Chains A and B, each alone.
Chain A
Amino acid sequence: AQTVTQSQPEMSVQEAETVTLSCTYDTSESDYYLFWYKQPPSRQMILVIRQEAYKQQNATENRFSVNFQKAAKSFSLKISDSQLGDAAMYFCAYRSPISSGSARQLTFGSGTQLTVLP
């Protein structure tokens, strides 16, 4: 079974600065999908960014980018120019390839609570 680990329960960053959230995962599969979700106090999970494991290029979405290290099974999220609205719980998630029987499931980490300081 796949596992996702987020070792930073809490992080803080000064407004306009850059912060990196860590995520590691364990899998024996060679092709899979990785995601970062944001969950603000409203509780609604919002997809921030996704990465396909077969792509070597790191995904980027505006101020959000990832550092995907496949061999190390590491998938960190970098938030540049942090804004007050970025404050939320961030979850890393893994999904198996479509050839897998468990392809339908998202496996989530335990989350990192990000505080943005004005």
Chain B
Amino acid sequence: EAGVAQSPRYKIIEKRQSVAFWCNPISGHATLYWYQQILGQGPKLLIQFQNNGVVDDSQLPKDRFSAERLKGVDSTLKIQPAKLEDSAVYLCASSLRLAGVYPYNEQFFGPGTRLTVL
């Protein structure tokens, strides 16, 4: 079974530029998550999708971050314009079951995209 795929693996941009990350979850997984992991910290959830609908984006900085999940499969996360503090690893994860309903719902993570903002 193929895992969660993410691209690119690395991205370097200058502040005020735009950037987009792509995620392809495990086939059949209904739930998709985007996390931000700043160096020296644990991942922090940015947004969660159930199929193609957003169920939690309370920690997404909506003035510069946006995300969509086309047809309930692939997802893109965009930053426009980027700031220095956006330098981090962006992790995508997916899970099979409806989040918040089943008692256990393992998340499978992708390899992440390391973003450096200069």
Residues in chain A within 8 A of chain B (CB atoms): 4, 33, 42-47, 50, 52, 91, 93, 97-98, 103-106, 108-111
Contacts and interface: CB of A to CB of B under 8 A. Distances in A.
Query: Size range of the interface on B?
Result: 20 to 34
Q: Interface residues of A: mostly helix, strand, loop or mixed?
A: loop
Contacts of B42: 4, 91, 93, 108-111
A111 B42 CA distance: 6
Interface in B61-99: 89, 91, 93, 99
Contacts of A109: 42
Nearest to B59: A105
Contacts of A43: 89, 91, 111-112, 114
B43 A108 contact: yes
A71 to B, nearest CB: 22
Interface stretch (B12-20, B22-30, B102-110): B102-110
A115 B26 CA distance: 31
B20 to A, nearest CB: 19
A45 B106 CA distance: 12
A44 B109 CA distance: 6
Given A44-B110, A104-B100, 20 more contacts: A43-B89, A44-B3, A44-B111, A45-B43, A50-B106, A52-B103, A93-B42, A97-B103, A98-B100, A98-B101, A98-B102, A103-B99, A106-B43, A106-B45, A106-B107, A108-B42, A110-B41, A111-B40, A111-B41, A111-B42
